Amino acid sequence: MRTRKESLTTNGIRISVTPTYQATYSRPAQDRYIFAYQVVIENQGATTVQLLRRHWIIWDGDGHIREVEGEGVVGKQPVLAPGQRYEYSSWCDLNSGFGKMHGAFLMVAKEDGEAFQAGIPEFLLIAPVRLN
């Protein structure tokens, strides 16, 4: 089940995320719900930027909150010239079958080295079995 795409633009960097519940990999009887999410990063600004780091906050419906930080995304630190986009997919697991995620990417402008946070919009993670 695909939930709705969420988008947010910060300093000319538009980030869109579309989550999808992964029933094949989930095990509801063992409280393990898997979600994939597709991220699209678009440089709508006037300067070339590079993504250096990621910071995610994952809230599980059972009240558990996790933070994930690290260099780049899926092992890469993409450089985006004006008008370019970068896409990647990743995943997370939840215990409750519902929750949400949001966060930020640390970006740097290649011209002047100025660093800034590009916000990742909050998006919901809901297993269809939890809707009944």
Instruction: Give the global pTM.
Output: 0.92
Tens of pLDDT, residue by residue, the chain (132 residues): 556 899 999 999 999 999 999 999 999 999 999 999 999 999 999 999 999 999 999 999 999 999 999 999 999 999 999 999 999 999 999 999 999 999 999 999 999 999 999 999 999 999 987 665
Q: What is the pLDDT of residue 129?
A: 74
Please check whether the domain covering 6-131 is classified as CATH 3.40.50.720.
no
All structural domains of the chain with their residue ranges: 6-131
Please spell the DSSP secondary structure of the chain, one letter per residue.
-B---EEEEETTEEEEEEEEE-TTT-BGGGTBEEEEEEEEEEE-SSS-EEEEEEEEEEEETTS-EEEEEEESBTTB--EE-TT-EEEEEEEEEESSSEEEEEEEEEEEETTT--EEEEEEEEEEEE-GGGG-
pLDDT at residue 4 in the model: 83
